[in-house]
Structure 1
Amino acid sequence: MTKERIGRKRLVVGAHYGTRDFIVQRSTAVIMAVYTLALVLYAVFVANLDFETWRAFFAFTIGTLPVGQMLATLAFLSLAWHAWVGVRDIWMDYAHSDGLRLFLEVLTALWLVAAVVFFAKILWSL
């Protein structure tokens, strides 16, 4: 008696397969929403939006702690992680060739790492 392989064989690791990704997507979305709201409120209530005003927003400190830069970094890292989970799921669903999927996932990861490095270089040089 031979077993017939129908469809793609998928390894399901445990009962909570995908739960972590679900939680990551929701928590990073909340972080990005709160930070976006702060940016919008700042733009609405500050009369003069020039370079120095925006610079002050990102260079906000409490004592010696660079709170503005830390919050912006948290928001951008949340954006990168959110994008990784979403785009990786797209590649997993629609790129059926294992080699193509691996290539696209590596390309996505490299692009996101480069974006984070570029962001950090700009923000932390204020």
Structure 2
Amino acid sequence: MRVRHSTNLTRNGLTDWIVQRVSAVILAAYTLFIMAFFMCSVDVTYASWTGLFSNLWVKVFTLLTVFSIVAHAWIGMWTVFTDYVKSTAVRAFLQIGLFVILFFYFFTAVLAVWAV
């Protein structure tokens, strides 16, 4: 049985692999950045947190990280679904559900980061 590649991210296994590795590096870098902020801050307050996120580069880094989470999750779950869910209808339902969740997550993050 051949699995159609209409719902993977890049239609190329090597590119998907590279996207997952790059997204993992971005996620690790962001985790280290946030950990360093907490470790270097004497008292994390609302003012210090909003001060951090008032920087354009922090907003861009945060959205790049959120996009990396979405891409990483999509590729990983697409792989799991195509490997373990043999029913096309069930796999399509799961992929649509995952798409809706990731879409909601991404745009909620955009609104949270760029809120006035």
- TM norm structure 1: 0.82
Cα distance in 1, alignment partners of residues 32 and 14 from structure 2: 27
Q: CA RMSD in A?
A: 1.7
Question: Which stretches in structure 2 are left out of the alignment for 5+ residues?
Answer: 6-10
Specify the alignment match of 2:108 in structure 1.
118
2:65 corresponding residue in structure 1: 75
- Decide which structure has the larger Cα Rg and report it: 1
Q: Are 1:9 and 2:2 an aligned pair?
A: yes
Match of 1:63 in 2: none
The AA in structure 2 aligned to 1:30 is: V
Q: Aligned pair 1:85/2:107, yes or no? A: no
Structure 1 position 9, deviation (Å): 3.2
Deviations 1:97-126 (A, max 9, x none): 011101111110111001001111111004
Moved over 4 A (4+): none
User: Does 1:108 find its partner at 2:101?
Assistant: no
The aligned residue for residue 97 of structure 1 is: 87
Q: Indicate how the Cα distance of structure 1 residues 73 and 17 shifts in structure 2: closer, same or farther if over 3 A, else same.
A: closer
Q: How many matched pairs?
A: 111
Higher helix share: 2
Residue of structure 2 equivalent to 1:45: 40
Seq. identity, %: 26
